[in-house]
Chains A and B, each alone.
Chain A
């Protein structure tokens, strides 16, 4: 199992450009999440998807959109990138059911917006 994978690993964008961060998991998990990690701010939830076909806003959704393409894939889109979106982005997945508790994280995408 590859677990949670993310592409790309690094990206540099100019202000106003758009891009999509890809995330996939092969663990048959129902729930998937997008976080951003900033120094001194910890991890903040951007969006999450409890199951295929559903998405919900997290703590910091402004400037982002998401798509839960199928059970495996959950993408994050920046329509018009801003320097404030410079961050490390982590995708995570979570099984549902009794007795499960661990969220599994991807390796992260380091995004710089100039």
Chain B
């Protein structure tokens, strides 16, 4: 069965410091990984996905199949980055449908 592990429940950094949110996965198939973010009092929204290899709001994430990791990184954290971050693994559930398995989330606080 698939599993997503986010080892840090809480992460606190100062503004301008680098930040790395860790994510490890376990899946026998070819993984498709995502980072979702939930800002205070807002709904969950997609931040980025591994296939696109893009940078969104200064965040990047690289899929490392050897280490089964998909860590989220930003070189200089901003106060507006404070939010709950979820790593998610997409798996095929029959037909053309998919399910997401989420990690437990990391609450990032960026202090002034």
Question: Which residue numbers of A lie inside 8 Å of B, CB to CB?
Answer: 4, 30-31, 33, 35, 40-45, 48, 50-51, 56, 58, 90, 92, 94, 96-97, 101-103, 105-108
Contacts and interface: CB of A to CB of B under 8 A. Distances in A.
Interface residues of B, number: 26
A44 B93 CA distance: 16
Interface of B: 6, 9, 32, 34, 42-46, 49, 51, 86, 90, 93-105
A58 B100 CA distance: 10
A105 B44 CA distance: 6
A64 B97 CA distance: 22
Given A40-B9, A40-B104, A101-B34, A45 B43 contact: no
7 contacts: A31-B97, A45-B99, A94-B97, A94-B98, A101-B34, A103-B46, A106-B43
